[in-house]
Amino acid sequence: MSQKNNMEFNQLTIHELQEKLRDGSLTSVEITESVYRRIASVEEKVHSYITLMEETAIGQAREADRRIKEGNADELTGIPIALKDILCTEGVRTTCGSRILENFIPPYDATVVRKLKDAGAVFVGKTNMDEFAMGSSTETSWFGITKNPWDLERIPGGSSGGSAAAVAADECIASLGTDTGGSIRQPAALCGVVGMKPTYGRVSRFGMVAFASSLDQIGPVTKDVEDCAIMMNVISGHDTGDSTSVPAEIPDYRKFISRDIRGWTVGIPREYFVEGIDPEIKDAVDETIKILEDLGAKCIDISLPHTEYCVAVYYIIAPSEASSNLARYDGVRYGFRATGGEDLLDMYKKTRSSGFGAEVKRRIMLGTYSLSSGYYDAYYKKASQVRALIKSDFDNAFKKCDVILTPTTPTPAFRIGEKVDDPLQMYLCDIFTLSTNLAGIPGISVPCGYTRTDLPIGIQFMAKHFEEGKLLQIASAYEKNSKIERRRPEL
């Protein structure tokens, strides 16, 4: 009993907790309480959450304990999970990090939320994010900045910064994020946790507040690769509520954990090792290559020739789609409405002027411009054409290799305030993650070490459409053999 009291249950992984829940040595209520104890002690410093759901969580935990006793447990029954505040939760405020949705209470659950509920998960709360998921640092939220648990003066990455910080700080066991251009993988890398963007179409986006519909995906943020597989098992699948979700077979992702990668070919795209990449990140990649070779994989040089256009293409396509998606926030149908408008148009103007923050407005203007007649051909259409070339780069590359390996980010976490007033510098943070969204393929970021000043570094693997299993296989083989000690941030 005394040993039980000394253990911090909130530090364990999903699969570690599953065992303890099943053998009866631990209850979901105990785990959930340990998570909220942790939140009480560190949340003021980190600010991972916009909304906490303690009362309903304890109720869900009791229900989960009943279900486990009945022998009716699912993979996530009794596990405390955090949800990015872009996912609709019935009866629970969903803000998307924006003033314009400050008081929006959805009347329904997103499909992924319903799937987690059905599996018996416990919802800890809604995590902080860049406003409308536009950003790479979680500094643009209307609800304040999330700090990196490894260094509170630095950003956690974004836009799913709250989801990554909450996992890294043990303020939940796992979380869901969304990734339109890197928003799961980049914060996962900067916070030292695992993050996966599934294939476009693998996970339903029904009930996710839309940012750029041809790029958006929902995915897990977890403490290790096995947990990522467990989360993928629960959230994947076709859904009539999202016409882009694909009715493809879903493998048991857990089966890919602990399989070897002997004989695999890993492509290293030379275009990803450009000037400006931090030398410590470059060293970490070289070290990873050695480990993969020791495991029997062959690492080869490949080319993705259109890589240099990714940032430009993404920052035309994403804002264009955003400008259309965000037209619905007019002060009539959702959330915030400004007072004092003289007529309907004036009310729209006042509502959108004060309801959206600077970055969101910048994107709406960029997008409206590139879609407008006379400019459409030069910008949006041209970007779509180059996007097709980027995709065909990957099709060609995967003829030569099983997976592709790149750094997840060009630098470790930067300081709060360092880039927020320089959009171009901020956009360049996404240089290695945008391409998978543009091509629709899956990508995962896995911790691969620390800088000399103890900041986490992440490595990214990419695979062909619907080959998430391969990503989990190589990521877990690497994780098990990399001998990187599992450290915890001191808070």
Active site (catalytic) residues: 84, 159, 183
Tell me if 222 sits within 8 A of 176, measured CB to CB. Answer: no
CA proximity to 223, closest of 469, 456, 490, 481:
456
- Least distance CB 410 / ligand GLN (angstroms): 13
Positive or negative torsion for Cα 214, 360, 325, 86:
positive
Tell me if 10 sits within 8 A of 170, measured CB to CB. Answer: yes
Query: Coil, strand or helix: which one is 272?
Result: helix
- Least distance CB 205 / ligand GLN (angstroms): 12
- For ligand GLN, which is the closer residue by CB, 183 or 288? 183
- Least distance CB 133 / ligand GLN (angstroms): 4
- Least distance CB 197 / ligand GLN (angstroms): 8
- For ligand GLN, which is the closer residue by CB, 135 or 335? 135
CA proximity to 57, closest of 38, 41, 81:
81
Q: What is the dihedral of CA 322, 421, 273, 458, to 10 degrees?
A: -80
- Least distance CB 265 / ligand GLN (angstroms): 29
Give phi and psi for 51, each to the nearest 5: -135, 130
Q: Which residues contact 177 (CB under 8 A, 6 or more apart)?
A: 84, 127, 160, 163, 164, 183, 184, 187, 188, 195, 218, 219, 220, 221
Give the position of tokens 């091509």: 439
- For ligand GLN, which is the closer residue by CB, 30 or 216? 216
Tell me the residue nearest to ligand GLN as measured from the CB.
Answer: 183
- For ligand GLN, which is the closer residue by CB, 179 or 402? 179
H or E segment at 229? helix 225-235
Which residues would be at the binding site for ligand GLN (CB under 6 A)? 133-136, 159, 179-183, 211, 318, 430
- For ligand GLN, which is the closer residue by CB, 180 or 482? 180
